[in-house]
Amino acid sequence: MPVVLTLLTPEDLDAPLVNRGDLKALKVRQLERITAEAWRQDGVLTMLDLEWLLGVNGALLRELLGLYQEHFGVLLPTAGTVLDMGRTLTHKTIVVEMALQGLSTQQIARRIYHTPEAVDHYLRAFDRVLMLRYYRVPRKAMCRVTGYSLQLVEEHLALADKHFPTQEALAGYLANRGAELEVVG
């Protein structure tokens, strides 16, 4: 199904383009607008789509997306971020980090253009890996038990190392998430 995008607005046409900063500001406005327009029409744009539409190279596009996320704390809905493909930070990591900072499922979903169900799915996967870590299950066994790839398990374990350096900290987090931990003797 076709998607209708607004590449230039009257405000864009009136904006001065005196230096590189002005050009970046224009491209960020366009990037925000067209990704949101595509998303509202049940579409997502790939990095190649965005490069072509905005007339910029991949390096500048990645820089603009990163600057936008850093400044606003929001991921724009591109194929790379919505579908977790490409070289962007994965949503799994972003969701977990945001949740650990105290954001609710609804807040996270709005910020990353995902459904609350998708956010909860990411958090449940993280919790599963943490439960297995708590019981000191080896990594390859974690993969076998959960069906997750070694890469995903290691991504979650790296977050666990960062946020829960001790067994007590890990137990406290799991208890707050409703886990009933048993002492294994």
Residue 153: pLDDT above 60?
yes
| pLDDT number for residue 100 | 92
| pLDDT number for residue 82 | 65
pLDDT tens, position by position, 7-51: 999 999 998 899 998 999 899 889 988 988 887 787 888 889 999
Q: In the 3-class helix/strand/coil scheme, how is the chain assigned residue by residue? A: CCCCCCCCCHHHHHCCCCCHHHHHHHHHHHHHHHHHHHHHCCCCECHHHHHHHHCCCHHHHHHHHHHHHHHHCCCCCEHHHHCCCCCCCCHHHHHHHHHHCCCCHHHHHHHHCCCHHHHHHHHHHHHHHHHHHHCCCCHHHHHHHHCCCHHHHHHHHHHHHHHCCCHHHHHHHHHHCCCCCCCCC
Residue 90: pLDDT above 80?
no
Across 49-58, 73-82, 108-117, 176-185, the highest mean pLDDT is recorded for: 49-58
